[in-house]
């Protein structure tokens, strides 16, 4: 009787673990393939960004499209004003940034949304965002190193940022 | 010889209990089927317990946890998450084992449920400690912080994390105070109050599980699963440990009818109440009683019924009886309980009942106050005349409590009865008992051992019987060892601890 119970328990446990494992591999298969194209922002010209790249393995799904609202709204080359990047979905929540451009220079990066599904993500976001802002303002581009321990947030941040930069035609 | 033997006489027809007719049950292999069903339920509980542990790991696997683990920091974090999941699952199992769920009670019994509960205490603490330490290291590595700074960061920056730290401290306090050594040093009440801290420890651990970890983030099915098992555990605890006892107390409206002296320091407490027909067949099982008098109401007393409930009114009005020995602080007051004192009850619990039977034959072996539940069981458990044996052990005849009633029952139902009185055998030290000689029957009186008697001298066919043992722990251990040697299998032995 004890053996029957032990065998049944072992089989049930193994089955549950296998099912979990199987479901886990599928979660990642989907997240790397899917890339939704949801453009946020309605005002201004809706530009077309490049499909999200470099998101393999992290579960980040890049979304394309960005919008910007130029203060003058007349010229595309001498960019000034605020430009909003795309909202990039990650498994810890969406990330979206806005840049303020003055005479062709990025003067401010404002996060509109950061990874926030859980307390741990909020902690990571709050730590990573100021560091990324400093780096971006110094480099004047999205080509900066990700913050260690905040890879997912950093990549999403920089993807959204690149979309905003593209919208500003910098 | 301090033993006496009564020839089995044909059972007198006992009217009013047609459902307990022994021949009906025996003819169809009733006990064997009951046993097989109970074993099936035991296996089911085993499967549920292990499957729940596997499921807690599967939650993480299904989230893609394993595939996303590539760096050292992530490995620490992953290990921290998995240990936390398993540790918390074990805590939930512990709570369920202590929730007095009737299904668990009638399958493995209250004693074994609490035994498993106790066994899970240390593993779950170690897992939860590992959970905290591994995550702090993992997070720290990822952010380039030392573990102490990371712990401080978590405490300050992440909502609900300070509660998790408090919870961890409480868990440590609970397990440390529950360790046997500590339990012996402090009075029972102290240990009991500290144990109630478990609820605080569990409660403070809940918020961070749902708000900090990404696994149980809003919108995931994992969150629903985790919520479901928490809700079930919480509901079971509240219902079976609080609501049901309150309802039972209101339903039966028990009051103390009289307190009768049985022997020096031993009394019968007879309680009057209603709807006692619902409690028929619970003789021998125990209830937790609270006598609602000033200074006594908060003290729970686990006592078995020492007789079947007696009821005759239209609404099941009648009496219940427990037999109590003055064992210490709490029970001394019981000897002078006032008539009319209201009584709260929880129960019945335990498997010292017909529900545990596996065979047609029965042997009951009791010592001291442990005799009294057997007295109640003897009244009702089904057997044919000549198929039951009762062995009563005490230092003197006066310690064979209720022996007059037992004698009457034995005569009426055709039971062999032995009184085993006299001093304990001096060779009762454990050093002798592991020599595996036939003379390790130290639960017997000295002269019985000297004359070469053992358990099989009294009950030659014991290997084919259910053996109910009730008495002090060390004594009972000895009886059980003897029974096992005589060929009684584990599932035939039904033992109730009687020294708490």
Q: For A69-90, what is the mean pLDDT? A: 67
Cβ pair B158:A119 closer than 8 A: yes
Asked whether the predicted pLDDT for residue B388 surpasses 90, the reply is yes
Nearest Cα residue in chain B from A8: B47
- Report the residue of chain B nearest A122, measured CA to CA: B158
A118 and B160 within 8 Å at the Cβ level: the answer is: no
Give the number of domains in chain A. Answer: 1
This complex has an ipTM of 0.78
Question: Do residue A23 and residue B61 have CB atoms under 8 angstroms apart?
Answer: yes
Cβ of residue A30 closer than 8 Å to a chain B Cβ:
no
Contact at 8 Å (CB) between A157 and A132? yes
For residue A158, give the CATH number of its domain.
3.90.1010
pLDDT digit string (tens) for B125-155?
A: 999 999 999 999 988 887 778 889 888 888 8
| Residues in chain B within 8 Å Cβ distance of A12 | 47, 50-51, 54
What's the pLDDT at B26? 53
Q: Is residue A20 part of a domain?
A: no
Q: What is the pLDDT of residue A79?
A: 62
Does residue B451 have a pLDDT over 90?
Answer: no
Contact B283/B343 with Cβ under 8 angstroms?
no
Residue B72 confidence (pLDDT) above 90: no
Is residue A2 one of the residues assigned to a domain? no
Distance from CA of B112 to the nearest CA of A (A): 15
Domain-located, residue A15: no
For the ranges A28-32, B92-96, B102-106, which has the lowest average pLDDT?
A: A28-32
State how far the Cα of B352 lies from the Cα of B334, in Å rounded to an integer: 24
Q: Which residue has the higher pLDDT, B111 or B247?
A: B247
* Cα–Cα distance, A32 to B68 (Å, whole number): 12
Q: What is the pLDDT of residue B30?
A: 85
Domain membership flag for residue A23: no
Question: Which tens digits make up the pLDDT trace of A104-121?
Answer: 889 999 999 888 777 778
pLDDT at A39 over 50: no
* B-chain residue closest to A149, CA distance: B142
- Segment B398-407 mean pLDDT: 90
Put simply, whether A7 touches B (Cβ < 8 Å) is: no
| Cross-chain residue pair A119–B43, CB shorter than 8 Å | no
pLDDT of residue A132: 93
The hierarchical CATH code for the domain B2-22+360-495 is: 3.40.50.80
For residue A24, pLDDT over 80 is answered with yes
Please tell me whether the peptide bond between B73 and the residue prior to it is cis, using omega within 30 degrees of 0: no
- Per-residue model confidence (pLDDT) at position B185: 67
- pLDDT at B34 > cutoff 50: yes
Chosen for mutation from B62, B74, B219 (greatest number of chain A CBs closer than 10 Å) is B62
Confidence of residue A31 (pLDDT cuts 50, 70, 90): very low
Answer left, alpha or beta for residue B274, where phi above 0 means left and psi between -120 and 50 means alpha.
beta
Which residues 60-89 of A are in CB contact (within 8 Å) with B?
none
Q: Residue B364: name the closest of B450, B453, B483, B491 by CA.
A: B483
pLDDT at A121 (0 to 100): 81
Q: How many whole angstroms separate alpha carbon A82 and alpha carbon A162?
A: 14
Domain for residue A16, yes or no?
no
| Spatial CB neighbours of B464, under 8 Å, sequence gap ≥ 6 | B359, B361
How is chain B split into domains, by residue range? Answer: 2-22+360-495, 32-247, 253-349
Q: What is the pLDDT of residue B83?
A: 96
**Same fold for the pair B2-22+360-495 and B253-349:** no
Q: Is residue A88 part of a domain?
A: yes
Residue in chain A nearest B56 by alpha carbon:
A17
Per the CB < 8 A criterion, the answer to whether A112 and A128 are in contact is no
What does residue B438 show for φ and ψ, rounded to 5 degrees?
-75, -10
Q: pLDDT for B201-247, tens place per residue?
A: 999 999 999 888 778 877 788 899 999 999 999 999 999 999 999 99
Q: How far is A33 from chain B (nearest CA, A)?
A: 15
Lowest mean pLDDT among A31-45, A92-106, B373-387: A31-45
Residues of A in contact with B76 (CB under 8 A): none
Contacts of B139 in chain A (CB under 8 A): 120, 149
pTM (2 decimals)? 0.79
Interface test with B, best of A4, A7, A13, A115 (most B CBs within 10 A): A13
> Mean pLDDT, to the nearest integer, of A47-72?
39
Looking at every residue in chain B, the average pLDDT score rounds to 85
Category of B340 on φ-ψ map: left (φ > 0), alpha (ψ -120 to 50) or beta: left
Interface contact A119-B50, CB threshold 8 A: no
Selection from A19-28, A121-130, B201-210 with the highest mean pLDDT: B201-210
For residue B328, the model assigns a pLDDT of 66
Range of weakest confidence among B188-192, B295-299, B388-392:
B188-192
Whether pLDDT at B435 is above 50: no
**Of A1, A25, A118, which has the smallest distance from its Cβ to B214's Cβ?**
A118
Domain of A61? 29-167
Of chain A, the end-to-end C-alpha distance in Å amounts to 75
Burial annotation B301-321 (CB, 10 A radius, 16+ → b, else e):
bbbbbbbbbebeeeebbbbbb
CATH number of this structure's domain B253-349 = 2.40.30.10
Q: What is the pLDDT of residue B182?
A: 59
Q: Where are the beta strands (DSSP E) in A6-159?
A: 46-47, 66-70, 81-84, 88-90, 93-102, 105-113
Smallest Cβ distance to A1: which of B39, B70, B144?
A: B39
**B330-361, pLDDT tens digit by residue?**
667 787 788 999 999 998 998 888 989 999 99
Residue B186 pLDDT > 80: no
Rounded to an integer, the average pLDDT of A57-80 is 45
Contacts of A127 in chain B (CB under 8 A): 143, 157
- Is residue A115 a part of any domain in this protein? yes
Distances (CA, A) of B306 to A71, B272, B365, B479, B492: 91, 15, 15, 22, 22
What residues of chain B lie within 8 A of the CB of A32, using their CB? none
Among the residue ranges B21-35, B113-127, B132-146, B316-330, the one predicted with the least confidence is B21-35
Q: Do B62 and A149 touch (CB under 8 A)?
A: no
Comparing CB atoms, the residue among A28, A117, A150 nearest residue B214 is A117
Query: What's the mean pLDDT in A13-41?
Result: 63
Q: Which is nearest to A36 in space by CA: A51, A57, A58?
A: A51
pLDDT at B12 over 80: no
Question: Residue A19 above 60 pLDDT?
Answer: yes
Residue keyed to tokens 């006598």: B291
What is the predicted pLDDT for the residue at A108? 92
Query: What's the mean pLDDT in B98-114?
Result: 91
- Pair of tokens at residue B472: 């002090």
Q: Band of the pLDDT at B25, cuts 50, 70, 90?
A: low
- Residue B229 pLDDT: 95
**Does A23 touch chain B if contact means CB atoms closer than 8 Å?**
yes
How far apart are the CA of A20 and the nearest CA of chain B, in angstroms?
A: 4
When CB atoms are compared, the residue of B47, B139, B212 closest to A8 is: B47
User: Mean pLDDT score of chain A, rounded to an integer?
Assistant: 73
Mean pLDDT of B425-451: 63
Q: How far is A3 from chain B (nearest CA, A)?
A: 9
Mean pLDDT, residues B399-406 taken together? 90
Q: What is the pLDDT of residues B156-181, one digit of tens each?
A: 877 788 999 999 999 888 878 777 65
**Among residues of chain A, what percentage have pLDDT more than 70?**
68
First to last CA, chain B: 32
Nearest CB neighbour to B68, from listed A20, A59, A148 = A59
**What stretch of H or E contains B183?**
helix B180-185
Burial class of residue B384 in the structure, from the number of CB atoms within 10 Å of its CB (0-12 exposed, 13-18 middle, 19+ buried): middle
């Amino acid at each position: 009787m004890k053996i029957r119970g032990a065998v049944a328990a072992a089989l049930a446990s193994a089955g549950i673990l296998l099912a979990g494992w199987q479901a886990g591999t599928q979660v990642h298969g989907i997240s790397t393939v899917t890339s939704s194209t949801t453009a946020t922002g309605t005002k201004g010209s809706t530009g077309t960004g490049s499909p999200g790249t470099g998101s393999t393995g992290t579960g980040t799904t890049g979304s394309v499209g960005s919008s910007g609202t130029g203060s003058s709204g007349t010229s595309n080359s001498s960019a000034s004003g605020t430009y909003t990047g795309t909202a990039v979905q990650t498994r810890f929540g969406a990330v979206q940034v806005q840049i303020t451009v003055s005479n062709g220079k990025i003067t401010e990066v404002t996060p509109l949304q950061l990874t926030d599904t859980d307390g741990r993500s909020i902690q990571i976001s709050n730590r990573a965002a100021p560091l990324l802002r400093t780096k971006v303002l110094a480099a004047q581009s999205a080509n900066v190193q990700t913050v260690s321990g905040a890879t997912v947030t950093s990549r999403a941040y920089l993807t959204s940022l690149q979309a905003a930069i593209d919208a500003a035609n910098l | 010889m301090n033993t006496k033997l009564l020839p089995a006489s044909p059972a007198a027809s006992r009217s009013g209990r047609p459902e307990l007719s022994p021949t009906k049950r025996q003819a169809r292999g009733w006990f064997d089927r009951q046993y097989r069903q109970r074993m099936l339920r035991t296996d089911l509980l085993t499967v549920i317990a292990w499957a729940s542990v596997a499921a807690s790991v599967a939650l993480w696997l299904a989230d893609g946890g394993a595939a996303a683990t590539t760096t050292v920091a992530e490995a620490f974090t992953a290990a921290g998450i998995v240990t936390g999941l398993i540790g918390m699952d074990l805590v939930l199992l512990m709570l369920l084992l202590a929730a007095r769920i009737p299904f668990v009670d009638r399958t493995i019994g209250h004693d074994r449920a609490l035994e498993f509960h106790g066994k899970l205490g240390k593993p779950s603490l170690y897992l939860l400690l590992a959970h905290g330490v591994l995550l702090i290291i993992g997070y720290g590595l990822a952010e380039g912080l030392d573990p102490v700074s990371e712990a401080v960061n978590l405490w300050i920056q992440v909502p609900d994390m300070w509660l998790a730290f408090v919870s961890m401290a409480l868990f440590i306090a609970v397990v440390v105070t529950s360790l046997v050594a500590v339990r012996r040093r402090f009075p029972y009440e102290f240990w009991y109050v500290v144990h109630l801290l478990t609820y605080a420890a569990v409660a403070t651990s809940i918020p961070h599980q749902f708000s900090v970890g990404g696994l149980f983030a809003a919108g995931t099915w994992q969150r629903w699963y985790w919520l479901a098992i928490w809700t079930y555990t919480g509901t079971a605890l509240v219902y079976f440990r609080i609501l049901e006892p309150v309802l039972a107390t209101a339903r039966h409206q028990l009051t103390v009818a009289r307190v009768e002296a049985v022997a020096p320091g031993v009394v019968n407490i007879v309680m009057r109440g209603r709807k006692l027909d619902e409690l028929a067949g619970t003789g021998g099982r125990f209830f937790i009683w609270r006598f609602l008098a000033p200074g006594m109401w908060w003290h729970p007393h686990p006592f078995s019924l020492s007789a079947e409930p007696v009821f005759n009114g239209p609404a099941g009005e009648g009496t219940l009886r427990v037999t109590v020995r003055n064992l210490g602080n709490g029970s001394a007051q019981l000897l002078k309980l006032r008539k009319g004192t209201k009584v709260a009850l929880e129960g019945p619990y335990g498997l010292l009942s017909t529900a545990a039977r596996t065979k047609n034959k029965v042997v009951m072996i009791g010592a001291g106050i442990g005799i009294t539940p057997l007295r109640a069981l003897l009244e009702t458990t089904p057997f044919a005349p000549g198929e039951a044996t009762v062995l009563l052990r005490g230092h003197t005849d006066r310690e064979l409590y209720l022996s007059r009633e037992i004698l009457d029952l034995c005569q009426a139902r055709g039971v062999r009865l032995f009184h085993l009185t006299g001093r304990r055998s001096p060779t009762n030290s454990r050093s002798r008992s592991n020599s595996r000689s036939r003379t390790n029957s130290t639960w017997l009186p000295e002269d019985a051992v000297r004359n070469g008697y053992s358990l099989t001298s009294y009950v030659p066919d014991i290997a084919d019987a259910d053996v109910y043992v009730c008495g002090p722990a060390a004594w009972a251990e000895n009886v059980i060892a003897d029974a096992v040697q005589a060929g009684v299998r584990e599932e035939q032995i039904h033992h109730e601890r009687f020294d708490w």
